Structure 1
Amino acid sequence: MSKQYYTPSPNTAMDILQSLEWRYAAKRMNGQPVPQQKIQTILEAIRLAPSSMGLQPYSVLVIEDEALKKQIRPLAYNQPQIEESSHLLVFAAWSSISPEQIQEYISHTARVRNMPETALDDFKNTLLQMASSRTDEENFNWAARQAYIAFGTAVLAAAAQQVDATPMEGFNNAALDELLQLEQRGLKSVTLLPLGYRDAERDWLASLPKVRREADKFFIELTAADTALQNA
């Protein structure tokens, strides 16, 4: 008998799991604009997302301009959601991590927490050591993984407000970086997230049930005894 991992709370119009059940990767959108308040909520959720060391080594470009979205569409294998979306978010990670970026983070932390920067010297040195011990490519790959955490947060935040979001990795990163002049900003694109409203009549996926692995096959519960057995 499979274990039930969640019992829905009563009197909740749309809780977190209902939101995730409602969402899917919309293949067509209807072009209807998403209210600015909802966009700001999604962006603030992204800003509040966790990242390793709290460094947030990425930026999010917010594109509403129709002409620019039209230029981006062919770079994303002509996926129509790029143009049909209300807003297009581009998650871009730092291409490298410099001592100046770390110092900016340390100074900002000291200001926000009303403390002397010297109190953060050990933390700063840890960050500097971490960054200097890796190549630029390794630092970028680490930064990209942090960006994915914010990316997932954005998908959930959108679903909570019944705003459709289509996670995209299928695009020409180098061409998009050139179009958006990301190199000059010290960034490389990682993922795209069109935000908008589904066009259920034109979207073949809209009426299909969500497919996910069964919980009892997906989750593996371990105890110390289990690991001891494996290592015996």
Structure 2
Amino acid sequence: MASRTIEKLQWRYATKTFDSSKILSEEKLNILKETFNLTATSYGLQPLKLVVISNSELKTKLMPLTYNQPQVRDASHVLILCVEKNINENFILEHFKRVEGQRNTPRKILEPFEKNLIASFTEKNSEEIKDWMVNQLYLTLGALLTVCAVEEIDACPMEGFEPKKYDKLIGLDKRGLESVIALPVGYRDESDFFKDLKKVRRGVDELIIEVN
């Protein structure tokens, strides 16, 4: 008998048609926000931001920038997963201030880690840092999709959009952010042909290698 978690993962799919009349409750939306906040990132730096869009007019404006895919228009909310444009010394220093403040960790313990991290990022070029941030973002996307399944929230992760145009329309460029993934969330429409299709996967026996 499959566990509840596996049953929920079987239930989820990349939703193609959302029921625009069904809206996520504040409770469900807050669960997704907390998931984004609590997901692991390298060094705990969280070089990411989550933009939550519920405005119907704005969602409609996003549709032509998403190759006319209707999910962004019809979903309850569109989550935009973004990376910071600049991760510099001040960003790292702010992180260690939070660690000190929230954990009461003495500076003499934090300082060596702080210096090493600043030195490490100083050696990286902007492309290397962006690649690293995008990797962290995909960790967060995986967590969001899993939690969506458990909470029976439908979702459709989308790379098929025009990030620069999104950034300009939403004002992300002025906030020092770059959009990477659009994630419409809400509830599937019963007319969605894809909701009843069997999942196609390579299977545990083929994908898993056990070393004893």
Smaller-chain TM-score bracket: over 0.9
Q: Work out the CA distance in 1 between the residues paired with 2:125 and 2:165.
A: 23
Q: Work out the CA distance in 1 between the residues paired with 2:99 and 2:55.
A: 34
Q: Work out the CA distance in 1 between the residues paired with 2:82 and 2:59.
A: 16
SS in 1 for 2:193: coil
Supply the RMSD in Å over aligned alpha carbons. Answer: 1.3
Alignment of 1:56-135 (within 5 A): 56-135=46-125
The equivalent position to 2:198 in structure 1, one of 182, 189, 209, is 209
Partner of 1:164: 154
How far did residue 119 of structure 1 move? 2.5
The equivalent position to 2:9 in structure 1, one of 6, 12, 20, is 20
1:152-192 Cα offsets, whole Å, 9 max, x none, are: 11111111111101111111111111212222222111101
Check if 1:195 corresponds to 2:203: no
- Larger Rg: 1 or 2? 1
Q: Work out the CA distance in 1 between the residues paired with 2:57 and 2:106.
A: 47
Please, which runs of 5 or more residues in structure 2 have no aligned partner? none
Partner of 2:24: 34
The farther-off stretch of 110-119 and 35-44 is 110-119
Number of aligned positions between the proteins: 211
After TM superposition, the score normalised by the length of structure 1 is 0.87
Check if 1:174 corresponds to 2:164: yes
Q: Is the 8 A contact 1:25 1:165 kept in 2?
A: yes
How far did residue 139 of structure 1 move? 0.5
After TM superposition, the score normalised by the length of structure 2 is 0.95
How far did residue 41 of structure 1 move? 0.8
- Identity %, equivalent residues: 36
How far did residue 16 of structure 1 move? 1.5
The farther-off stretch of 166-175 and 109-118 is 109-118
Letter in 1 for 2:198: P
SS in 2 for 1:33: coil
